[in-house]
Structure 1
């Protein structure tokens, strides 16, 4: 909408105008007067009349002899100065004003004919209603037709399960009819302030509210409503679409609407053949603080108007699947989720799925609701047209030829100054894979760092993987006797508790329990990698340096939601501390020393150097 613009811009633009001997400067002053008395943003016109008078008196105005050219230049000037494309000046010597039709004064039979020609009602497959309205009638006309509208339109619409409300061809209407339509699609429990209209000529402000009661049955606010719009949708229809969209009561499908006005008038400038078209009223939504005027109503789903019906039908098909999907995911959570007492399913019954327009947005909404109600960011719903591989995720044992490539790709070792070992690995492999590649791992990786005085394990880029090898990995950092209790696992799928211990034997040499171990972390570190890190921290076997980890899970199952194309990743195991017996937090591992991931290695080297020096001095 128009911003406050200094009148200086208008002065400069008007100084480019010219006039022949037959043009009176009073024309421009009269135009300014019309704007001051009628333009719906009077605050943008402060000082304009005096500024124009100064421009005219300056004598710097050039000559323009053609009246239509003059009108075009005036249009550019006034639009640019006030930043409002609705302001136009025209030269029309043969203009004949057309009085708008006053509908309430027409006979009832003519009103019925008009309504029948501007309204189409149909019932599509699956009890989907289709209502097309090309002209929104005002409050007085609606009152006059009363029961006819109720019996032939609104009560029939009320019987449908969902509605496609077609406003693509709605190019006329009265704003006073908007509250009725908004009221029809809402509940009467609380009145809603839906619009505020300021009329400049009368200097009055009118608030539009939903109606406390309607004759006949309401559609209510639970059943789906899809509004279709096009670039021709204008005026009162835009007010309907804009309000229902921002009340989150309807989904808009189609094109951005025209961006019309509440009310415009073409006003003759003095006694000349020049006219200025002025928006004399403005709408401000109390819901958004903005308006559909000029900018139009942006659709929720942008698609060319002629394809909007087909898109709306497919969208409703997705939305009709929501109740079944919600029930299915509720069942999955109940059967497999490790923290069954933390999920609240009430949100799904509150009708908060209005933004859902396809399976991707349904997955996003379900994920957000699950995470919010459970407080667990590991719960995740995703859309997949092809069955995900994780449903049949069996670890692949590498061939003899593949082992070397795998070790090169996953592991990096280095000997740092001070006989400090450095081991980076970016994935937690399955225990069967580790066993199968054991001799090569010992030779190519472990043997290079096992005899160092301290060890840095870099897990900044390790996003997780399999948890089965964690006991084996931990065992290398403890003595053979006694066996150490690492953590306890509760498996929701089997409702069993399992104590996880170090192993009595391992291949190759142990690192032992006395030398320092330093683990580097980042916000990317997750899942099974976190379990290893938290275990080492819990048992005071490592110093953790870097960023808090992401907060993953020991094990997540992937489950199809009913027979849909949606799948849920659900943590189905929970880990209890061997020290406290309490459930590990899902918020990730907090390092002993907080450092940015990029700085974690030099920080670790400084700490190691200081500790080794202190040890040497203590001997």
Structure 2
């Protein structure tokens, strides 16, 4: 806890407002939010003596206009580096080392389907390519595949494309990012080459979701669902479609600001705010059993090899 003599909310709020107006993907909303933050500051709404409390109050105001859950003043109990994006990477690396590179579980069920759990996030591809690629090589031999994203909170779009590349046979357009900077457009496609055999485009594929499934994990789910490649089973997802950057505005506070928006080539939109509605809606705790029944049925209907 920081004492009131040491803690000064005003420069933190002002810097957050500045970063908003310069970087937020929706400039008009950014202006509204910056004005709101400055008004609340002038009214004494941020007269608190701790970084954690300021982060909570500012985050509530940031999300009050368009409910963008990526837009936050995020509190970090451990002091964060000053470099842009460094706060997220430091925590991510700890999670990577503790989760076998984001592949904490891989199981072959007795009746044929493989279950691949990807959690707690889809880590940056330069880290994740080896563990995720090894797991996808193993499941390439499965008769049916269930990818469990119920505990996955997001991740790297390049890792999304890498995973999808194992699940299609031909180059496939997955997504287009619309960046605020220079109004740039960036398409995401499956890769022409993967380091190992592909699971391919023809065998049954199921994605498990929960209300916690978010951001990059939602992109993976949405891409596969919209392209008709996977059946989604579970709960409606969290609804975060805007990639974000992070700026350290205090040793324990990071302003996380979306700088782009996803546009799917099939739907022409994304899952922001609404989340992804599963094809088979059920409690997350029941999703694996439901997907297993669907996989068994699909395998039983296949002609003999």
TM-score range, shorter chain: 0.7 to 0.9
Equivalent residues of 1:413, 1:448 under 8 A apart: no
Secondary structure of the residue aligned to 1:362 is: helix
Determine the structure 1 residue equivalent to 2:23: 336
Partner of 1:568: 255
Q: Is the 8 A contact 1:577 1:584 kept in 2?
A: no
Which structure: larger Rg?
Answer: 1
Which residue of structure 1 lines up, in the alignment, with residue 274 of structure 2? 587
CA RMSD of aligned residues (A): 3.3
Q: Which runs of 5+ in 2 are unaligned?
A: none
Q: Is the 8 A contact 2:167 2:201 kept in 1?
A: yes
Q: Is the 8 A contact 1:391 1:559 kept in 2?
A: yes
Q: Secondary structure at the match of 1:567?
A: strand
SS in structure 2 at match of 1:374: coil
1:565-613 CA distance string (max 9 Å, x none): 6431112221111113334423322211111111111111112223333
Give the superposition deviation at 1:558. Answer: 1.1
**Equivalences for residues 30-429 of structure 1 within 5 A:** 314=5, 318=8, 321-322=9-10, 324-343=11-30, 344-345=32-33, 346-348=35-37, 349=39, 353-354=44-45, 356-358=47-49, 359-383=51-75, 386-388=79-81, 391-392=85-86, 407=100, 410-426=103-119, 427-429=121-123
The 1:382–1:424 alpha-carbon spacing in structure 2 relative to 1, beyond 3 Å, is: closer
Structure with the larger RCO, 1 or 2 (CA within 8 Å, 6+ apart): 2
Classify the secondary structure of the residue corresponding to 1:410. Answer: coil
The C-alpha deviation readout for 1:487-510, integer Å capped at 9, x for no partner, is 001223453111111111111111
Counterpart for residue 188 of structure 2 = 500
Number of aligned residue pairs: give it. 291
Name the counterpart of 1:255: none
- Following superposition, the deviation at residue 525 of structure 1 comes to 1.6
In structure 2, relative to structure 1, the CA distance for the partners of 1:537 and 1:556 (3 Å cut) is: same
Contact kept in structure 1, 2:172 and 2:189, CA below 8 Å: yes
* CA distance in 2 between partners of 1:387 and 1:395 (Å): 8
| Counterpart contact for 1:576–1:584, Cα < 8 Å | no
Is it true that 1:606 corresponds to 2:293 in the alignment? yes
Q: Which sits farther off after the overlay, 408-417 or 565-574?
A: 408-417
| DSSP 3-state at the match of 2:146 | strand
